[in-house]
Structure 1
């Protein structure tokens, strides 16, 4: 299952909602939407600084992640960035593939 790192920053409206329902309420909302699409939430942490929330989750496919991303962005409550995460085995496989690439000017 593809794994993703989600980094999110609350908009003022999103922060107002967080203040009303707390972190547990947001965890429940995230878990519900992810599991409804066949995924799992591995971890969810609140932070301060550039990002307010960091989440690691698994989805059965890229389309499921795209669907959630679009719905969350359309809500206006969060600004998000989803980064695909690769396992060591996947990187090992990538290093064994031949790629015909030439640097500019070579």
Structure 2
């Protein structure tokens, strides 16, 4: 199970829907959407300013995360951005790998 940090913003009709339904209802919709791909919500917070909603979710496969992001963004009511989170152990494993790469101009 992979963890993702997410940021979301309500747009147009999404703002009106949030005002009608409230935050609890939108949390329930997110929980149901994540459950449909085998995921779950670790934390969820509403904010104001640049980002409306943020939190941490767990999703089994990257393709599930992509499918969920595509579905939510396709509504035009919410924009969502997912950022995969790595544990310190994941980073330790990455530092032991040496991928082949040639920098531009070298």
Same fold by TM (over 0.5)? yes
1:72 alignment partner in structure 2: 72
> Alpha carbon RMSD of aligned pairs, Å?
1.2
Q: Does 1:49 align with 2:34?
A: no
**C-alpha distance in 1 between matches for 2:104 and 2:76:** 41
SS in 2 for 1:8: strand
> What's the CA shift for 1:55?
2.3
Correspondences of 1:1-106 after superposition (within 5 Å): 1-106=1-106
Point out where structure 2 has 5 or more consecutive residues left out of the alignment: none
Count of equivalent residues = 106
**C-alpha distance in 1 between matches for 2:86 and 2:6:** 14
SS in 2 for 1:94: helix
TM-score under structure 1 length normalisation: 0.92
> What's the CA shift for 1:10?
0.7
Report Cα offsets for 1:32-53 as digits up to 9, x if no partner.
Answer: 1101211111011001111100
**C-alpha distance in 2 between matches for 1:105 and 1:72:** 40
